[in-house]
Amino acid sequence: MRPQILYPLFANLTSLKGVGPRMGALYKKLCGDYIVDLLWHLPTGIIDRSYAPQLCRAEKGRVATLHLKVAEHVPPTRPGGPYRIFAEDQTDQIALTYFNVKGDYLNRIYPPGNEIVVSGLIERYRQSWVMNHPDYAVSPGREAEIPKFEPVYPLTAGISGKMLQKAVAQALTRAPELAEWHDAALISREAWPSWKEALRIAHAPCPGNDDTPHRRRLAYDELLADQLSLAIIRAHHKASGGRSFKATGRLTSRLESTLPFALTPGQKQAIAEIAKDVAAPKRMLRLLQGDVGSGKTVVALYAMLQAVEAGAQAALMAPTEILAKQHHATLAKLLGPLELDIGLLLGRGRGGDRQATLEALATGKLKLVVGTHALFQEDIAFQDLGLAVVDEQHRFGVNQRLMLSDKGRGVDILAMTATPIPRTLTLTAYGDMDVSRLMDKPVGRQKIETRLIDMARLDEVVAGIKRQATKGAQIYWVCPLIEESELVDLAAATERADLLKQFLGPSAVGLVHGRMKATEKDSVMNKFSAGDLKVLVATTVIEVGVDVPKASVMVIEHAERFGLAQLHQLRGRVGRGSEKSHCLLLYQAPLGEMSKARLKMMRETEDGFLIAEEDLRLRGAGELLGTKQSGAREFRVADPMRDADLIDMAHGDAAVILAKDPRLESERGKALRTLLYLFNRDAAARLLRAG
């Protein structure tokens, strides 16, 4: 139940004067349903009307406020022509123009001979000054009615700036004074205004007050609501039905002795962190974050074996069928010496012995399984599922995680992601989870040599590819989807595959694209991983996570069109074996300065975290996390880049608050509940009530 004091804020926008059902629909599109949504619709700029030049010194293309004397009216000379009012200051004259004039209101506003103050955009037309439809026109005595600074809002067709300003002004009068939810010491240290005052100031911007206390306060409100709700969800998750697994080491010690490599220190540490969670009576909700190729799979396997040692079952969920199959093959190989079976479950109607696998899972004969989303969406019965591993977590949002845990099986969850995001972003995207990071790479990995090459030199590239292929290398060739039409791209990729076939022989080159059936795609991918194909041409990003250790060359066409993190992911597909690997970034000249700098960065570093920071700076968080489409939250005021310090602070604050007052029952706790509802953190608020 939303606190009563917030009711006025959650009144529909149509309750505002001047906003009927028709306007209501426009506002809904622009910002949302409620008064509070309009209040969060903050200005993105300022019109500065303080510029008041004499005409002879004025700069065209600026908004100016002019003191003029009206000279004469010139009505339109043809239908649809402008109505012009000529006016002048001591230095020059200007035409104030209007279109579609009805009645004689212009005569009332601009009586000839009178002085007038106008404000609007001034422009030059045929060597004379013009101002089209002034925003303001008042007599000198009422000059104060022209605001010096005016907020500029994002608008939509049908809602003008002035209409929006009026609506916001009304909405502000509806905002109640709310009990302060922040710590008094913090408020005084940062000199933050109250919530209501901060909003008022935010809607009345003036130059230079962009990053002042009011904005930071509103950003912090939002971030604290966010961190607090994540912490509540996390606490709820941990408290519900966790179990303590007694891992004996029987299986993991055998795995360790049969592994074809030594674990990296990072892997060892992550395994230890997970083991602690698994043994603890609380439910695990942990994120394993590690760059492509850092070796997350084997870490997951350790966790799965611990569950099995304790008599439970473990499942690994991959985002695509190809990845599920690949994980299955990898794990089956590692499990061979342990004489432990692992099942594979894909969507309905796929995979032959589905029925047998289902039965074995239900009876508990089968302890391990790999699958796609189908694992959790369909009603698959486990005898005793203890651990779920979710690969490539960035394709899921907080809500999906909540759903997974709401399955009510009390399962531990280990999520894995290859997106190396900055710490502060981790806090907002995965703040409900504990995090383990693999910062090192397996030893023996060589630097991937990255080169930038103009598309004009395609012939040389193809010749080079041929040389590499003869020496036994396998090559990925990515032709991205760029055109609006998928067909055009497909044609380009097909053409590229044909060209490569001419040089390397028709049976050496395979093509995968989005329009192929999964089975066709699989068969091409399988040929490539078996070494039967030299080159794999792909239209889009090759499924994240595909592991073909022998592949040592990655060619990316139109590299300039990719995000840095994407390029990094793609490049990470090679350099997994012990041979020297290459990445060729082909670009279409001419490159802008920005593109040049970005591609150079790719050449100079393989540090996924550095690249991610840069990508975040250039493209924003939604793109980087790949969560734009998954419905993950975007902030209204806070900016993950700019407010990194606040994110950190909010994360710490949330922990302290909940440690002291887990049910938010103190005075301040109640105020914080209001904050949660203010930002519509319903899930968190509901959990508080339920528990």
**Per-residue interface string for the shown chain with ligand ADP, residues 267-286, x marking contact by CB under 6 A:** x-------------------
Which position among 43, 242, 295, 420 is part of the footprint of ligand ADP (CB under 6 A)?
295
Q: Of 644, 661, 294, 234, whose CA–CA distance to 434 is shortest?
A: 234
Q: Of 278, 280, 276, 296, whose CA–CA distance to 288 is shortest?
A: 296
Q: Is 541 in the site for ligand ADP (CB under 6 A)?
A: no
Identify residues 50-89 at the interface with Mg ion (CB under 5 A). none
- The per-residue b/e assignment along 437-474, b for 16 or more CB within 10 angstroms, e otherwise, is bbbbbbeebeebebebbeeeeeeebbebbbebbeeebb
CB of 303 to ligand ADP, least distance (A): 13
Q: Is 324 in the site for ligand ADP (CB under 6 A)?
A: no
**Per-residue interface string for the shown chain with ligand ADP, residues 489-528, x marking contact by CB under 6 A:** ----------------------------------------
Q: Of 390, 391, 369, 389, whose CA–CA distance to 380 is shortest?
A: 369
CB of 669 to Mg ion, least distance (A): 42
Which position among 294, 306, 566, 581 is part of the footprint of ligand ADP (CB under 6 A)?
294
For 210, other C-beta atoms within 10 Å of its C-beta total: 10
Detail the DSSP E strand segments found in 126-282. 128-132, 136-138, 149-152
Tokens 């060619």, located at residue: 555
Pairing of strands 115-125, 128-132: antiparallel
Q: At what angle do helices 398-406 and 213-239 cross, to 10 degrees?
A: 20
Picked from Mg ion, ligand ADP, none, the partner binding residue 549 (CB below 5 to 8 A depending on kind) is: ligand ADP
End-to-end CA distance of the chain: 15
CB of 317 to Mg ion, least distance (A): 12
**Per-residue interface string for the shown chain with ligand ADP, residues 555-594, x marking contact by CB under 6 A:** ---------------------x------------------
| CB contact at 8 A, 587 and 595 | yes
| CB contact at 8 A, 289 and 439 | no
Picked from Mg ion, ligand ADP, none, the partner binding residue 65 (CB below 5 to 8 A depending on kind) is: none
Which position among 82, 151, 205, 293 is part of the footprint of ligand ADP (CB under 6 A)?
293
Pairing of strands 62-74, 83-88: antiparallel
Q: Is 336 in the site for ligand ADP (CB under 6 A)?
A: no
| CB contact at 8 A, 502 and 522 | no
Q: Is 319 in the site for Mg ion (CB under 5 A)?
A: no
Q: Is 134 in the site for ligand ADP (CB under 6 A)?
A: no
Which position among 549, 563, 622, 662 is part of the footprint of ligand ADP (CB under 6 A)?
549
Picked from ligand ADP, Mg ion, none, the partner binding residue 261 (CB below 5 to 8 A depending on kind) is: ligand ADP
Q: Which of the stretches 24-32, 48-56, 206-214, 544-552 binds ligand ADP when contact is defined by CB under 6 A?
A: 544-552
Picked from Mg ion, ligand ADP, none, the partner binding residue 585 (CB below 5 to 8 A depending on kind) is: none
User: Read out DSSP for 231-254?
Assistant: HHHHHHHHHSS-------SHHHHH
CB of 326 to Mg ion, least distance (A): 9
CB of 329 to ligand ADP, least distance (A): 11
Pairing of strands 535-538, 474-478: parallel
Which position among 24, 32, 161, 442 is part of the footprint of ligand ADP (CB under 6 A)?
442
Exposed / middle / buried, residue 122 (Cβ in 10 Å: 0-12, 13-18, 19+): buried
Q: Is 266 in the site for ligand ADP (CB under 6 A)?
A: no
The count of residues interacting with ligand ADP (CB under 6 A) is 18
CB of 19 to ligand ADP, least distance (A): 52
> Toward Mg ion, which CB reaches closer, 390 or 481?
390
Q: Is 668 left (phi over 0), alpha (psi -120 to 50) or beta?
A: alpha
**Could you give the CA distance from residue 351 to residue 341 in angstroms, rounded to a whole number?**
16
Q: Which of the stretches 174-182, 233-241, 544-552, 591-599 binds Mg ion when contact is defined by CB under 5 A?
A: 544-552
Which position among 545, 575, 626, 640 is part of the footprint of Mg ion (CB under 5 A)?
545
CB of 255 to ligand ADP, least distance (A): 12
For 495, other C-beta atoms within 10 Å of its C-beta total: 12
**Per-residue interface string for the shown chain with Mg ion, residues 474-513, x marking contact by CB under 5 A:** ----------------------------------------
**Could you give the CA distance from residue 635 to residue 296 in angstroms, rounded to a whole number?**
31
* Run of H or E residues at 470: helix 458-470
Q: Which of the stretches 121-129, 163-171, 545-553, 675-683 binds ligand ADP when contact is defined by CB under 6 A?
A: 545-553
Q: Is 436 in the site for ligand ADP (CB under 6 A)?
A: no
Q: Is 43 in the site for ligand ADP (CB under 6 A)?
A: no
Exposed / middle / buried, residue 368 (Cβ in 10 Å: 0-12, 13-18, 19+): buried
Q: Which of the stretches 84-92, 95-103, 538-546, 610-618 binds Mg ion when contact is defined by CB under 5 A?
A: 538-546
- Record the tokens describing residue 2, joined without a space: 């939303």
Cis peptide before 590 (omega within 30 of 0): yes
Whole-number Cα distances in Å, 131 to 63, 118, 119, 122, 145: 10, 9, 9, 5, 19
Q: Is 426 in the site for ligand ADP (CB under 6 A)?
A: no
CB of 657 to Mg ion, least distance (A): 36
Helices first, then strands: H and E counts in the chain: 25, 21
> Toward ligand ADP, which CB reaches closer, 225 or 551?
551
Q: Which of the stretches 27-35, 55-63, 291-299, 604-612 binds ligand ADP when contact is defined by CB under 6 A?
A: 291-299
> Toward ligand ADP, which CB reaches closer, 98 or 609?
609
Q: Is 394 in the site for ligand ADP (CB under 6 A)?
A: no
Q: Is 293 in the site for Mg ion (CB under 5 A)?
A: no
> Toward Mg ion, which CB reaches closer, 27 or 430?
430
Tokens 């605001």, located at residue: 147
CB of 302 to ligand ADP, least distance (A): 11
CB of 293 to Mg ion, least distance (A): 8
Q: Which of the stretches 156-164, 303-311, 542-550, 659-667 binds Mg ion when contact is defined by CB under 5 A?
A: 542-550
Q: Of 329, 344, 320, whose CA–CA distance to 297 is shortest?
A: 329
Whole-number Cα distances in Å, 628 to 23, 219, 399, 429: 28, 20, 14, 12
Quick one: CA dihedral 237, 241, 247, 252, positive or negative?
negative
Which position among 64, 130, 331, 418 is part of the footprint of ligand ADP (CB under 6 A)?
418
**Could you give the CA distance from residue 365 to residue 164 in angstroms, rounded to a whole number?**
65
**Could you give the CA distance from residue 304 to residue 297 in angstroms, rounded to a whole number?**
10
Which position among 23, 138, 263, 644 is part of the footprint of ligand ADP (CB under 6 A)?
263
Which position among 264, 372, 581, 627 is part of the footprint of ligand ADP (CB under 6 A)?
264
> Toward ligand ADP, which CB reaches closer, 219 or 546?
546
Q: What φ, ψ does residue 392 adopt, rounded to 5°?
A: 55, 55
| CB contact at 8 A, 433 and 415 | yes
Which position among 227, 289, 297, 627 is part of the footprint of ligand ADP (CB under 6 A)?
297
Q: Which residues bind ligand ADP (CB under 6 A)?
A: 261, 263-264, 267, 290, 292-298, 418, 442, 545, 547, 549, 576
Q: Which residues bind Mg ion (CB under 5 A)?
A: 545
